[in-house]
Structure formats: C-alpha cells, structure tokens
Amino acid sequence: MTQNSHNSVFVRKVDAETLPPPQNEMGIRGWLWRNLLYSVTDYSSVSAALRSLAMIFFTVLVSYVGLTQLWLLLDFVFFSAVWSDPTGIKREACWTLSQGGTLPDDWHAACWPFIFAKLKFLAYGPYPMDELWRVNVTGLLGLAGLCWVLIEALPYRRLVGVLMLTAYPVIALILLTGGASEANYFNATAYIFVGLALITVGRLGQRDLLGIVASDFASIIGFVGWSLIVFQVLMLIFSVDVGLKPVGTGDWGGLMITLVVAVTGIVVSLPLGVILALGRRSNMPVARLLCTIFIEFWRGVPLISVLFMASVMIPLFLPEGVNFDKLMRALIGVMLFSAAYMAEVVRGGLQAIDKGQYEAAEAMGLTYWQSMRQIILPQALTHVIPGIVNTFIGLFKDTTLVSIIGLFDLLGAGKSAIADASWSSPVQAISIYLFVGFIFFIFCFGMSRYSIFMENKLSKSRSH
Amino acid sequence: MKNITIAIVAIVAAAVGYFGGTSMNKEAPAPAATETETAAVEATLNAVKAKGFVQCGVSQGLPGFSNADDAGNWTGIDVDVCRGVAAAVFGDASKVKYTPLSSKQRFTALASGEIDMLSRNTTWTMTRDTQLGLNFAGVNYYDGQGFLVPTKLGVKSALEMDGANVCSQTGTTTELNVTDFFRENGMKFNLVAFEEADAVVAAYDSGRCDVYTTDRSGLAAQRTKLANPDAHMVLPEIISKEPLGPVVRQGDDQWFNIVRWTLNAMINAEEMGVTSANAKSMANDNNPAIKRLLGTEGTFGAELGLSNDWALNIISQVGNYGESYEAHVGPNTPLKLDRGVNALWSQGGILYAAPVR
C-alpha cells in the first residue's frame, strides 16, 4: 500500500527557489512602510481614516516637540555655548551685556570654561595636586583589571578576577591613603597566634575529635581564625611605609569618592546579598531570623537617614577623641544598605528555581554549599541579572547622598563649585548639573549595556 | 566562591580597622568631653600640636567666607581665621585641614571633637552660646538679613511690601526673621521656600516671587547669578543681626583665648597699619603697642601657650583683617561688599578689638 502510493504521488526532491521578500518590505522603503506609513495610509473606512488622521496628527506633533527640544538642548550644549576663556576673565566670559559682559542679552547657553576650570576639583576634590598620579594609577589599574575580567577572549580571567578582589583593594588603599598607618606589632603577633589556635580547633572539630557540638561550629571557628589572621596581616601590610605622602580621606573628593563608594558598595553587596538571601531561605531558624531582621531593618530605613546617623549620631555615642573616619562610616552604611536590597533580588531568583532542582541536587548527594554553588545559584543569579544591575545602578546614583554628610562626591563637588563667586553667572548651575548628569549617565548606561550583553550570553537557552 | 567570600570579608574588616585604627591612633590625645570640663582644660592645644595641624570646620561652599577655589584649596575670610590660628600655633598658616560641614552637622562635629574649631559663618546667638556647650570666640563679620527686589517694582522700603511673595531658603533662620518682620509691621506675605540657594535665585529671577531675602552678604553673592543684576536693588532695611564668628568647645579656656586673640590680633593689626608686607619691619617700630603685638616686647605669646612671634606669624602669613576682607569679600572681589559696619571703629564701623597689653 505504502509502496504504491510512493509511486503514484509526486515527491519533490529539490527545494523550490527562495523568492526575495516583496519590494515594499525591503530597504528604506520597507522601513518607512513598517514604521511610518503602515498606520497612516488606511482610508478604507471612516474609522480607519479617522485612525490614520489621528496618527498623522500625533506623529507630527511628537516629532515637532521632540526635534525642537533636541535642537534647544544641542544649541544650549554645543552651538551657543561658550567654550573658552582665553583672557582669563572667568565669570565675565559668560556674562551678557546687561550683566557687564560681552554676550548678547538673549544669550542662554552652557558655560564650559567654568567646567574646564573645575575639572580637577570635580574629578579629585581637594586631593593634593602633586599626588594625583596615585589616583590615576589606582583608577587605570582598576579599569584595566575590570576590562580584563569583562572581556571574554582574554586568558587567566579567573586569576585576574581573584587578584582584583584581593590584591587590588590593598594596593588601591595604600596608593590612595599613602599607607604607613600606625601598627601595634605585639598585638598583631598575638592575634595571629590566636587565629592559628582557632584554625586548629576548627580542624580538630571537622575530624569529630571535639564532640558533636564543637564539630557543628568547627567551620565557623576556623573561618573566624582565618579572618583574624588575614586581617592582621593586612594591617601589617598597611603599616609598611612605602614612602608616599599620607593623604587623609578628608582630602578625597569628586568622581573619585563617587567611584570609591559605588565600587565598594557594588563589590561587597553582591556576595553579602547572596549570603543574606540564602540565610533568609535557610532551614536554620536562628540564621533565618537574623537575616530576615537584618534585611527588613535596612530596607525599612531610608539611606539618607542611615548616612545621617552615621555622620551625626555615631560621633556622639563614641568616646571623645575616638574618631571613625567619615568616609568609612558612609561606606559601611552604603554596603549594608545595598546588601539588604541585593538579598531580596537574589531571593527572588532563588524562589524562581523549580523545587525539582533542589531535590535533584540533594539526590545526587551534593552538600548544601555544593548544590548552591553548582546547581542553584548559577541559575538563580542568571534569572535576576536585570534586578542585580538595577540595584547596582540605583546604588551608583544613591552615592550622591553622601554629599549631605559633607563628603564632596561628584555632585557635592559640583554644588561646591557653584558656590564659587568668581564664576557666578545665571548659567553656572545649569552647566555643572548638565556635566555631572552626563558623567552619571555614562556610568549607568555602561552598566546597563553590559547587563544586557550578559543576559543575552547567559540565557541563550531561554531567549525567544 | 567561599574563598572569595572570605577574602572579601577580610578586606572589608581590614579596611574598617585601618581607617578606624589610624584615626583613633592619630587623635589619641584628643580633647575630653564638654561635660567633663575639668578634664578638658588646655587639652586642645596639646592635641593640635601633637597631630601637627588644626582641624577646622568650614561651610560646604559660601562665596567669600569659605569656598574651594579651582584647584580645591579653601579660601575666604572664615578660612583665614583657621589659617591665622595655624600660623599662631605652628608658625605655618598651611597646617590646617578643613572639614566641610552642613549647617546641621556643624555643632555635633565640634562637640564630638571631630574638629578643633568651627569657622563656618555661624551666627552668635544666646541659645547657641549657653545651651550647646560652645563658646563664640568673637565676630569676624557682622551680617544682617536684607531684601533684594526688582527695581521696576518701584519699592523703596521693605515696609511697602504688603502681600508680597517672598523667596527664601528653607531650614535657616531667614524664614523666621522674615516672618517676624512682616508680622511686626502688620503686613501679609506669602513665603516661597526652596532647599537650594540656586533654586531660590532661579525662582526669583523668573518672577515667581517679588522679593528675595537672605543675609546681605548672600544677596551680594547671588545677585551676580541674575540675568540682569542692575535691574535689582537691595532695600535699605536690615531686619536681623547676624554676628558671624569662630566657635570653640566650652571648657578649654586656653584654646578659646588662642582663637579669640588670633582674631583680635588681625583686627588690631589693621588698626595699627601692620600688614603682611610690612609686619616683619614693623616689629622694630617705635610704637610700643605694635612692639607688644608683634612680640618684640613682653611675653604675650607665651601667656597664650604659644611662641612670642605668634601675631607676627599670623599677620605676615595671613594678613590683617582688612587685607583678608579686601581679598575675599571686598569691593574688588566678585562679592563687591563695602566695609559698612565691618569697618574699624575708628573709621565709622563697629569693629573694635581689645588691646594687646
């Protein structure tokens, strides 16, 4: 039967030649048709004609408003703007005739020589002029490392990543502050021995030599021991006098502070957030309770009040003379705050993972940490990349709040620059805000684009 | 993952300890609390000498008073008081570190010992002097709240402003003063307040309000941001007294004296005609008052706990009060402020410093 039908039915052996798409679907014509004309050329009925006319009206209106605004912006920023102040007359370079300057009375555009004059202040704040190379080296090193880690074609990315997270902060801190802090060698040695003792206890506990209770806490005790030793060794490293002039954090400012706060917050908040999220979904009641309290507390208070507490209240509680660095206080506040937000984002990812994945991991005999590392977290984090980057971008922009506690971040430095009467003009404030806004846009847009790239790469399997 | 986490935790902990530790070490011999006044006696000078610089609280940017210039260096008449104190203590006016403070933070920063002195356009009021554990060491600028109006309104006096829309900045005493003034004179007004000074200027310039009120030094500074500064005038009325001056913690009389006499030395120097240019040669002048001021006669510096050439250092490095005024707020600066009441008592003003003798 089947053989017969084979013989009687025509079976095509060669593919038909592929026809080109219709002319009006291709090229500029196609583009115009799809995006512009498609919705405005249907007059077949009264309602369709009305719709088409309404579309024409709104298209023209929106284009007109959009193009006018764009023109005004370009004119303000580029065409009419004052670009140079060759004679060094400062504010008078941006004054109109009625103010005593030379520009026409209806002139209203950006005053860029003001920004150029303040560029050093906006980038570094009051950091000493002769020591700027230290900031530059730190920044370039960070940029190089970051690029290395982000560009996939390069070798040793894992090694560079680990170095960026361990050696780089140490180098950066020494370069920026000058190192040579005072260290107590006796205490440091004592602490290192305590650390070694704790590690030994931890090891013994892991081999079940200390009874059930101790073996439960063994890894924690070992961890504390390791942290103690690493901490003391770092303190000793920081105390080495490398011959750099000390520059206190009071002399930091501008984009430099913005980046220090944002990068620290971003780097710390992700791992801390993951730990908090795991803790909140843990079966251990104490860990769950602590993590929940932590997250809810930090999510419940506004960042501005956290910073305010850190800068105004903490000095009142501390004994007189004990003075916690202002930048450090703000950094800790920002870290804890963003970690709490990150924890909830990560928790969203964890909850999106099917229960079967958890069970499968257990069935394979993986330990909790193994299953988290190998099975759950890679999937969960991929799910929530947009949320994570959202938090990063939010954090980056929130760094401007440190200016209310007297740290001159990029925006704070800008505001301080506005107060300089030798440049005062009606466009002084707008020029600075435009520039600062542009810098923030570059960073935030960059993060956003990279996140989209990561999403596309990691979720190829799910893309539609 | 775990190793990286450990490393991160350790780095954070190290950073905490590093920053906390260094500042703790550096400021170990710091002044004691204001409540324990007996312990605070004469501690600040020693602490300042030990750390090698004066930590001075300044504003976050007020033209002419304390403001960062293009290179990020602090300048202004408030800054000059800080520099004067550094010159008196160390013989080097550059040994100052500045802490920019908001108006909310300034007293906490001083009380907690974060700064050694506050020189941040702070009005001397009874409440602040008596209730905050602070002492005002003098007045370096007599300010007062004034009004700026467009000339086209034809207003010649603040008393003609019934029903006006008044622009001002929030969170300052200017709101309180203007409310008092209008109530006292039985006039109605509508307060339009903004957080940022620039927003106030923009609102005033766009005609959102009829009058802009703030301290007269501030009016002078903000006026240059108007589209047409000549179309506006400052009204003659001054509705409040704002004596601005440096502040120190209560209970350390020696430090209080040093700050007070730094200011007095600058004012006296102007009165005697001692300037930064001629201070060194004037030290051997015939006038005994000048000799006492510049330390060639008497032991006035030693009585303060300083070297005898304390005032010579202040004046040769920072200048006298008049020089400081002319350099930062005077008619040749962007602020263009006349001396007015801030002239010497001998020249029609109210600036009067106790003599050095």
Instruction: Write the ipTM.
Output: 0.75
Q: Report DSSP letters for B70-82, one per residue.
A: TTS-EESHHHHHH
Q: Is the pLDDT of residue A261 over 60?
A: yes
Q: Is the pLDDT of residue B148 over 50?
A: yes
Q: Residue B249: enclosing H or E segment and its boundaries? A: strand B247-249
* B4, closest residue in chain A (CA to CA): A162
- With H, G, I as helix, E, B as strand and everything else as coil, classify residue A137: helix
Q: How far apart are CA B325 and CA B75, in angstroms?
A: 11
Q: Is the pLDDT of residue B27 over 60?
A: no
Please tell me the predicted confidence (pLDDT) of residue B102: 80
Q: How far apart are CA B123 and CA B110, in angstroms?
A: 15
Which of these, A316, A337, A222, lies nearest to A269 by C-alpha position? A337
Q: Which residues of B touch A416 (CB under 8 A)?
A: 60-61, 67-68, 100
Chain-centre distance of CA B237, in angstroms? 24
The 10 Å CB-count burial string (b at 16+, else e) for A148-161 is bbeeeeeeeeeebb
Residue A248 near residue A178 (C-beta atoms within 8 A): no
Q: What is the mean pLDDT of residues B337-355?
A: 93
Asked if A406 and B101 come within 8 Å (Cβ–Cβ), the reply is: yes
**If you count residue pairs, one on A and one on B, with CB atoms under 8 Å apart, how many are there?**
216
- Highest-confidence range of A236-240, B26-30, B190-194, by mean pLDDT? B190-194
Percent over 90 (pLDDT), chain A: 39
Identify which of A129, A165, A417 has the shortest CB distance to residue B4.
A165
Please tell me the predicted confidence (pLDDT) of residue B293: 93
Q: Residue B193: enclosing H or E segment and its boundaries? A: strand B189-194
* A239, closest residue in chain B (CA to CA): B18
Q: Which long-range contacts (CB under 8 A, 24 or more apart) does A161-166 make?
A: A162/B4, A162/B7, A165/A267, A165/B4, A165/B7, A165/B8, A165/B11, A166/B7, A166/B11
Q: Is the pLDDT of residue B37 over 80?
A: no
Asked if A321 and B32 come within 8 Å (Cβ–Cβ), the reply is: yes
- The one-letter code for the residue type at B303 is E
* A377, closest residue in chain B (CA to CA): B1
Q: Which residues of A touch B100 (CB under 8 A)?
A: 406, 408, 416
Q: How far is CA B281 from CA A225, A296, A436, B286, in A?
A: 66, 69, 50, 11
Taking only the tens place, the pLDDT of each residue in B261-283 is 999 999 999 999 999 999 999 98
Selected residue of A420, A428, A432, A436 to mutate for chain B interface (largest B Cβ count, 10 A): A420
Degrees (nearest 5) of the Cα angle A223, A228, A232?
A: 150
Burial class (CB in 10 A: 0-12, 13-18, 19+), B192: middle
Q: Is the pLDDT of residue A153 over 90?
A: no
- With H, G, I as helix, E, B as strand and everything else as coil, classify residue A397: helix
Please tell me if residue B228 touches chain A, with a CB cutoff of 8 Å: yes
Q: What is the mean pLDDT of residues B250-257?
A: 93
Residue A190 near residue A172 (C-beta atoms within 8 A): no
The confidence band for A211, taking pLDDT boundaries of 50, 70 and 90, is low
User: Which residue reads 């780089």 in tokens?
Assistant: A168
Q: Is the pLDDT of residue A277 over 60?
A: yes
Taking only the tens place, the pLDDT of each residue in B65-101 is 998 888 888 999 999 999 999 999 999 999 999 988 8
Outline where B73-195 has alpha helix (H): 77-90, 106-111, 126-131, 173-184
Q: How far apart are CA A345 and CA A269, in angstroms?
A: 11
Q: Which residues of B touch A91 (CB under 8 A)?
A: 224, 334
Q: How far apart are CA B192 and CA B118, in angstroms?
A: 31
C-alpha torsion B68→B71→B72→B73, nearest 10: -70
Selected residue of B1, B2, B23 to mutate for chain A interface (largest A Cβ count, 10 A): B23
Q: What is the CATH number of domain B145-240?
A: 3.40.190.10
Q: How far apart are CA B122 and CA A269, in angstroms?
A: 39
Residue B273 near residue B347 (C-beta atoms within 8 A): no
- Judged by CB atoms within 8 Å, which residues 44-83 of B form the interface with A? 47, 60-64, 67-74
Burial class (CB in 10 A: 0-12, 13-18, 19+), A1: exposed
Which of these, A408, A140, A444, lies nearest to A257 by C-alpha position? A408
Across the strands, what pairs with A409?
Answer: A254
Distance from CA of B185 to the nearest CA of A (A): 34
Mean pLDDT of chain A: 86
Please tell me the predicted confidence (pLDDT) of residue A3: 53
Residue B320 near residue B269 (C-beta atoms within 8 A): yes
Asked if A406 and B4 come within 8 Å (Cβ–Cβ), the reply is: no
The confidence band for A296, taking pLDDT boundaries of 50, 70 and 90, is very high
Tokens standing for B248? 């120190």
In the CATH hierarchy, which fold is given to the domain comprising B37-142+244-347? Answer: D-Maltodextrin-Binding Protein; domain 2 (3.40.190)
Q: What is the mean pLDDT of residues A189-198?
A: 84
The confidence band for A265, taking pLDDT boundaries of 50, 70 and 90, is very high
Q: Which residues of A touch B98 (CB under 8 A)?
A: 126, 250
Please tell me the predicted confidence (pLDDT) of residue B24: 38
Q: Which residues of B touch A408 (CB under 8 A)?
A: 60, 100
The confidence band for B17, taking pLDDT boundaries of 50, 70 and 90, is very low
Q: What is the mean pLDDT of residues A129-141?
A: 92
- The one-letter code for the residue type at A226 is W
* A374, closest residue in chain B (CA to CA): B1
Identify which of B17, B60, B202 has the shortest CB distance to residue A235.
B17
Lowest mean pLDDT among A81-90, A177-186, A423-432, B287-296: A177-186
φ/ψ of A146, rounded to 5, equals -60, -45
Please tell me the predicted confidence (pLDDT) of residue A216: 63
Q: How far apart are CA B218 and CA B214, in angstroms?
A: 6
Q: How far apart are CA A198 and CA A24, in angstroms?
A: 76
Please tell me if residue B225 touches chain A, with a CB cutoff of 8 Å: yes
Q: Is the pLDDT of residue B333 over 60?
A: yes
Outline where B95-157 has alpha helix (H): 106-111, 126-131
- Enter the pTM of the model: 0.81
Q: How far apart are CA A120 and CA A443, in angstroms?
A: 19
Tokens standing for B209? 């309000």
Q: Is the pLDDT of residue A164 over 60?
A: yes
Q: Which residues of A touch B27 (CB under 8 A)?
A: 321-323
Q: Report DSSP letters for A352-374, one per residue.
A: HS-HHHHHHHHHTT--HHHHIII
Tokens standing for A119? 């560029």
CATH of A255-407, one of 1.10.3720.10, 3.20.20.70, 3.30.590.20, 3.30.420.40: 1.10.3720.10
Across the strands, what pairs with B118?
Answer: B57, B247
Asked if A328 and B20 come within 8 Å (Cβ–Cβ), the reply is: yes
User: Which residue reads 């350099």 in tokens?
Assistant: B327
Q: Domains of chain A: which residue ranges? A: 21-74, 255-407
Chain-centre distance of CA A241, in angstroms? 33
The confidence band for A229, taking pLDDT boundaries of 50, 70 and 90, is confident
Outline where B123-252 has alpha helix (H): 126-131, 173-184, 197-205, 216-223
Please tell me the predicted confidence (pLDDT) of residue A204: 78
- Judged by CB atoms within 8 Å, which residues 425-454 of A form the interface with B? 425-426, 428-429
Identify which of A331, A404, A415 has the shortest CB distance to residue B61.
A415
Please tell me the predicted confidence (pLDDT) of residue B212: 93
Across the strands, what pairs with B67?
Answer: B75
Percent over 70 (pLDDT), chain A: 93
Q: What is the mean pLDDT of residues A77-84?
A: 91
Q: Domains of chain B: which residue ranges? A: 37-142+244-347, 145-240
| DSSP letter, residue A96 | B
Q: How far apart are CA B64 and CA A435, in angstroms?
A: 25
Please tell me the predicted confidence (pLDDT) of residue B16: 47
CB atoms within 10 A of CB A3: 7
A33: Cβ contacts below 8 Å, ≥ 6 apart: A24, A25
Q: How far apart are CA B248 and CA B34, in angstroms?
A: 11
φ/ψ of A265, rounded to 5, equals -60, -45
Residue A82 near residue A113 (C-beta atoms within 8 A): yes
Tokens standing for A422? 């030798």
Tokens standing for B100? 């920019």
Mean pLDDT of chain B: 85
Please tell me if residue A248 touches chain B, with a CB cutoff of 8 Å: yes
Backbone φ/ψ region at A325: left (φ over 0), alpha (ψ -120 to 50), beta: beta
Q: How far apart are CA B18 and CA B15, in angstroms?
A: 5
Distance from CA of B349 to the nearest CA of A (A): 25
- Judged by CB atoms within 8 Å, which residues 129-188 of B form the interface with A? none
Q: How many helices (H) and strands (E) does chain A have?
A: 19, 0
The confidence band for B301, taking pLDDT boundaries of 50, 70 and 90, is very high
